[in-house]
Amino acid sequence: YELMLRQHVESGADVTIGCLVVPRMEATGFGVMQVDKTDRITAFVEKPKDPPGIPGQPDMALASMGIYVFETQFLFDQLRRDADDPESSRDFGGDIIPWIVRNGKAQAHRFTQSCVRAAEEIEEYWRDVGTLDAYFEANLDLTDVVPKLNLYDRDWPIWTDQVVAAPAKFVHDEDGRRGHAISSLVSQDCIVSGAEVHKGLLFTGVKMGSYSRIEEGVILPYCNIGRHARLKRVILDSGVRIPEGLVVGEDPELDARRFRRSEKGVCLITKRMIEQLES
């Protein structure tokens, strides 16, 4: 954020908002702004049904990335002011940002000014993951042969907290009971015991029992997949224990009754859902 912070200080803005250009009709889920020639924000509307286009690019819109730079005291003052406003809906993008645009100085910082691309990356990478489908697709992107976000770029490492644990293990090599993973990311402390993973992400400590199968799955830490379970297009919350033989992703109506199913057929499964299923 160095360049964004520098721009914020040099511009003297009350708030600086990260933004990027998106297709206009895809901007309905974002805050959308209009700017002048200096990228000062002149208008801001939260999640408009008919987003305003960019002058000269009517099919595109300038969308907020939800990244803000404030002076601390100024932000505190705005939160107090908004708390005292009986007309406020208590929405950051719907109330506070538009008020600053009207009464202060709000500056846009374009993503292209700060983004660092790896050599293999054709375009700048950013994803909004505010829905199940978007979160799922952003994770599955990482399983591509050349992912849009390259976790293996040594020139631009992505630092994260690493759990000190044993390496992943794949066991059993029999017909129908072969532990393997294809086009997948498997974290440390995972055990794939006579099971299959196709285009999946196994976070730390996931255990898969024999004859189980995951196809397109985001499996959060310390989940346990029972024997003979078949899971397709799923997100498992941390610590979920999938019962033996459970099938998800083959019967849309049944999935929707038991779990939270998205518009694109992704099922979110939590501990509570499994408890209700077994009760």
The fraction of the chain above a pLDDT of 70, given in percent, is 97
**Token pair for 103:** 């009464």
pLDDT value at 119 more than 60 = no
- Encode pLDDT of 57-76 as tens digits: 999 999 999 999 998 999 99
Nearest to 262 by CA among 220, 225, 218: 218
Query: Cα 215–217–218 angle (5° rounding)?
Result: 165
pTM here? 0.83
Compute the average pLDDT of residues 143-160: 84
> CA 234, CA 270: separation in Å to the nearest integer?
11
The whole-number pLDDT of residue 121 equals 58
- Residue 249 DSSP symbol: S
The fraction of the chain above a pLDDT of 90, given in percent, is 83
**Token pair for 164:** 């000190």
* Residues across the chain: 279
Domains, the chain: 2-114 (3.90.550.10), 169-278 (2.160.10.10)
- Encode pLDDT of 87-101 as tens digits: 999 999 999 999 999
